[in-house]
Structure 1
Amino acid sequence: MSEQQKVAIVTGAGSGIGAATALLLSQRGYRVVLNGRTENKLEHTASQMASGTASVKTGDVSKENDVAALIEHTITQFGQLDLLVNNAAIAAFEPIDGFSVEDWDQQMNINVRSVFLMTKAALPYLRESKGSIVNISSVSGIGGDWNGFCYNASKGAVSNFTRAMALDLGPQGVRINAVAPSLTDTDMAADVINNPDVMAAFKQRLPMGRAARPSEVASVIAFLASDDARFVNGAIIPVDGGLSASNGQPNLAGG
């Protein structure tokens, strides 16, 4: 099936990597269902996409009922599902002493539970289309960040979920992979990006000397979803400008 006939769901599509991915998929002919919790952000993304290629469905993908409604909306609108991009995420960095159980649960629910719920709900349709899943992990799921224990744990879970599910889903004709960005110029990273002193320290550790652009991560997501990657399954692809080549040095949060 050509990309002009395919249907994708992108969660967290209101900004950053999610928005860039939705736009690129639209340019390649996908019809895309944009999901997030803030409707005006989703509508802004949709307004930049080709006519007839975008549909907006708000909801919290850490909640079962919202996930079911999102899948139902997609099938009602477009009749099929070929690609799921699990991008929705939040990040909070602070010492464990000030980190509440509620903080932990919120981050784990949005970053990990949503991936499980969306994957499970989408699978019947992805099996039918022999489709694929691309999860957004992070270099933070490969190593550690100061005061990032919860975010690191959540992205480590996403990476290992991806590897394990590749074993189960590969024989069913469904591929699942993940990208692992480093620091990316998104709303979530605005406090870092807009702080010259912090960015100066980051640039010293990033071999390419800058943060990633959302479009650069989106390009790798689109590759993993394409037929060009038809034998790529269970891979965690760093999109980090060479950071993960630093042989075990502490990583820099991404996504």
Structure 2
Amino acid sequence: MNLKDKVAYITGGTKGIGLGVAQTLLDVGMRVAISGRSEASVDQGLKSLKSDKVLGIVSDVCKIADEQKAVNGILEKWGQLDIVLANAGVGNFAAIDEMTDEQWHQMIDTNLNGVFHTLKASVDALKRSKGYYMTLASLAGTNFFANGAGYNASKFGVVGFTQAAMLDLRKYDIKVTTIMPGSVATHFNNNVPDDSDAWKIQPEDIGQLVLDLLKMHPRTLPSKIEVRPTRPDKK
């Protein structure tokens, strides 16, 4: 894929992994739309990227109407959509007997329903461009752990959804991949990244991975990728 001036849409692209991927794609000449749930978060993301090839969109992936409006805005501005990264996600960690209904539904609505809404809104454009749809899952999509029932459920769902979507869409020459990171140095779960996170995967590392996928020969599809820190933290 010749990446110059290709158009990407990244949900949850205002910080963390989404922002890191956005910067990587901008650096190779792509045009990138990023979305977040609030105008303030989108503005902050735009300030961080400092590019005239980036579009900021306020969209809540829990709402299909928001995602359709976001995709329509991208098509209106640039006339095409080539790559979509469904990256928006949240995590609430508690024992199942202590987890609230609100916490459960926030994760399912954002992490799982959101990837469906984003794909549903963008699939026609991706058919036209023979594009690429990626989801940001987690190693928690295959490895369960205590206090992770809701998060595990959402990420197991993302992995299954993405793999089935891959089988549905490859006949249209749409590539579909799920990326499953371990520990990443982001603000996820109220973390504040600092030097103590140096051992973790960095957001730009995921950006490099996305770039490598886009440069893969069209005949070859890495459909599910696990990625983890080379060495775990020694505590």
Using structure 1 for the length normalisation, give the TM-score: 0.84
- Whether 1:20 aligns to 2:20 is yes
Partner of 1:51: 51
2-structure distance, mates of 1:232, 1:147: 37
Is there any run of 5+ residues in structure 1 with no aligned partner, and where?
200-208, 244-255
1:160, distance to aligned residue in structure 2 (A): 1.0
Q: Residue 147 of structure 1 aligns to a residue in which SS?
A: coil
Contact 1:223 1:229 in 2 (8 A): no
Contact 2:68 2:122 in 1 (8 A): no
Partner of 1:37: 37
1-structure distance, mates of 2:191, 2:20: 20
Q: Percent identity?
A: 29
Contact 2:186 2:192 in 1 (8 A): no
- Whether 1:211 aligns to 2:211 is no
Using structure 2 for the length normalisation, give the TM-score: 0.91
Contact 2:184 2:200 in 1 (8 A): yes
Most deviating of 46-55 and 173-182? 46-55
Partner of 2:228: 240
Partner of 1:75: 75
Contact 2:24 2:207 in 1 (8 A): yes
Q: Please tell me the residue identity of whatever aligns with 1:222.
A: L
Partner of 1:204: none
- Whether 1:222 aligns to 2:206 is no
1-structure distance, mates of 2:137, 2:53: 26
Structure 1 residues 160 and 41: alpha-carbon distance in aligned structure 2, compared to 1, 3 A threshold: same
Q: Which has the higher helix share?
A: 1
1:42, distance to aligned residue in structure 2 (A): 2.3
1:50, distance to aligned residue in structure 2 (A): 5.6
1:37-91 Cα offsets, whole Å, 9 max, x none, are: 1323322332343632101110101101111110111111111100000000000
Q: Residue 14 of structure 1 aligns to a residue in which SS?
A: coil
1:115-172 Cα offsets, whole Å, 9 max, x none, are: 0011011011100000001110000001112201111111111111111111111111
Aligned pair count reads 231
2-structure distance, mates of 1:3, 1:107: 33
Partner of 1:250: none
Most deviating of 39-48 and 151-160? 39-48
1-structure distance, mates of 2:5, 2:192: 39
> What pairs up with 1:30-179 in 2 under 5 angstroms?
30-49=30-49, 51-179=51-179
1:204-249 Cα offsets, whole Å, 9 max, x none, are: xxxxx9211111112112222x132533436221120258xxxxxx
Is there any run of 5+ residues in structure 2 with no aligned partner, and where?
none
Q: Residue 17 of structure 2 aligns to a residue in which SS?
A: helix
CA RMSD of aligned residues (A): 2.1
Structure 1 residues 33 and 98: alpha-carbon distance in aligned structure 2, compared to 1, 3 A threshold: same
